[in-house]
Amino acid sequence: MSASNKTLAIVVIVVIAIAGIGGIVILGGGNPFLPPENPYDVAIVFATGGLGDKSFNDGAYAGAEQAKEDYGITFTYVEPTATTEYEGFHRAYAAHAEYRDPYKMIIGIGFDQAEAIQTVAAEYPEQPFAIVDMYIDPTDYPNVTSILFDEQEGSAIVGAIAGLMTKTGKVGFVGGMDIDLINKFAAGYVWGANYSYYDANEANIAFDVQYVGSWVDTAAGQSLADAMYTAGTDIIFAAAGRSGLGVFDSAKNKNGTEGFDNPLWVIGVDSPQMYLGTDDPNNPAPPTVCLTSMLKKVDVAVYRTIVDAWSGTHVPGIKTFNLANGGLGYEINEDLLVLPQDVVNFANQLRLDIVAGNVIVPSQKYWT
């Protein structure tokens, strides 16, 4: 190849390249050297339990799906497998290196993302963040919204149901870990159980509050529930992530066996779990061992946060969800189990009283 041919080849290549790039720009493809537009409005960093926990992460996912359905708000997500990964994912979303524009909101699901979000929120003060289940001081981190629940209120309602349904006069609570968040559930539950039990029997209820020490160990949860049922508890409120699912196995195995004459009940948490208490949860049919579930409507909270961020009406700070604004509730599924009418009435009355502020539910362990 002669020298002039070489030069010609280079010129042709350069011309083709320039024409190609120019064509993309003119035809509306945007500048090819810039990253593409961000196809997502919202980014979600799930808790380490991952999707499929049938409670927390799934609830957040459902809320985001709902927002997508109602308003076409798009979202992307990651499922970290270890708490150490949170910070990297938040930073990656906040830096939005592969997209031109930032996310309108980055949501961290779960209290243990607090440190990661604080670190990254300080680095990217323009980027709005939200964290579910954790209080982050808005004066220090004005771009972080804390989504909080008054779990004790919902727990008090299911506790009241337990207090009226117990035959042994002893109710139990299985928590994931001995932390303030879980103790909010425990406090409301024990308070509510005693509230209704005292109302009916003029005596204080007996209770056991225990912790599995893990969120994923179903076998340990089952073993602990076995022990509590053995010790005379007949209703257990399970707030222990996947470990709590072991409580369902325990109730099903022990129900009706020797030494466990009373019907044994479980109370589900976060999402409707009554179907999990049936013999075949894929085709739920009565009977179920699950009395009711305390509904922590993470879907409602995430939905509202996403919609607010998308529509521009988002106000940073603290968003509290409680019985009054529909962020909490309890499950009624009459296809599977019909509670006695007086129990339902009592629960509804207690709900009204709490909403009206007539009674105050303690938010931390008040016993020793």
The alpha helices in 27-150, defined as continuous H runs, are: 56-71, 86-95, 114-123
Q: How far is the CB of 299 from other proteins (least distance, A)?
A: 16
Cα–Cα distance measured from residue 36 to residue 21, given in angstroms and rounded to the nearest whole number: 15
- Binder among 79, 85, 112, 353 for other proteins (CB under 8 A): 79
Q: Which residues 218-237 are close enough to bind other proteins by CB under 8 A?
A: 218-220, 222-224, 226-228, 230-232
Q: Does 257 bind other proteins (CB under 8 A)?
A: yes
259 binds other proteins (CB under 8 A): yes
Task: Tell me the per-residue interface mask from 171 to 210 with other proteins, x by CB under 8 A, - otherwise.
Answer: -------------------------------------x-x
How many positions of this chain bind other proteins (CB under 8 A)?
39
- 310/330 Cα distance (integer angstroms): 29
Task: Compute the distance between CA of residue 217 and CA of residue 220 in angstroms, rounded to an integer.
Answer: 5
The yes or no reply on residue 247 touching other proteins (CB under 8 A) is: no
In the chain, helix, strand, coil percent, each to 5? 45, 15, 40
Q: Is 78 in the site for other proteins (CB under 8 A)?
A: no
When asked if residue 262 is in the footprint of other proteins (CB under 8 A), the reply is: no
Interaction of residue 54 with other proteins, rule CB under 8 A: yes
213 sits near other proteins (criterion: CB under 8 A): yes
Q: Does 76 help bind other proteins (rule: CB under 8 A)? A: no
Encoding tokens for residue 178?
Answer: 């001995």
**Minimum Å distance from CB 248 to other proteins?**
9
Instruction: Report the nearest approach of other proteins to the CB of residue 296 (Å).
Output: 17
Q: In what order do the strands lie in the sheet with 235-239?
A: 206-211, 170-175, 235-239, 265-270, 290-296, 328-330
Q: Does the protein bind other proteins through residue 22 (CB under 8 A)? A: no
If we measure between CA atoms, which residue out of 137, 91, 135 comes closest to residue 116? 91
Q: How far is the CB of 282 from other proteins (least distance, A)?
A: 6
**Stretch near other proteins under the rule CB under 8 A, chosen from 12-20, 92-100, 240-248, 292-300:** 240-248
Q: Output the smallest distance, CB 223 to other proteins, in A.
A: 5
Number of H helices, E strands in the chain: 10, 12
d(CA 167, CA 162): 10
Look up residue 129 and give its DSSP letter: E
Structural contact between residues 54 and 276, judged by C-beta atoms closer than 8 angstroms: yes
Min. distance of Cβ 15 from other proteins in angstroms? 47
57 part of the interface to other proteins, by CB under 8 A: yes
Specify the 3-state DSSP secondary structure of 291.
strand
DSSP 334: T
Two tokens, residue 192? 């509510």
CA 12 to chain centroid? 59
149/248 with CB nearer other proteins: 248
249 binds other proteins (CB under 8 A): yes
**Which residue from 95, 61, 65 is spatially nearest to 78, judged by alpha carbons?**
61
DSSP 3-state assignment of 155? helix
Closest CA to 175 of 221, 228, 111: 221
Q: Which stretch binds other proteins (CB under 8 A): 141-149, 217-225, 286-294, 316-324?
A: 217-225
7 binds other proteins, rule: CB under 8 A: no
Could you tell me the smallest distance in angstroms from the CB atom of residue 224 to other proteins? 5
Which residues contact other proteins by CB under 8 A?
A: 49-54, 57, 79, 81, 208, 210-211, 213-214, 216-220, 222-224, 226-228, 230-232, 242, 245-246, 249, 257-259, 276, 280-282
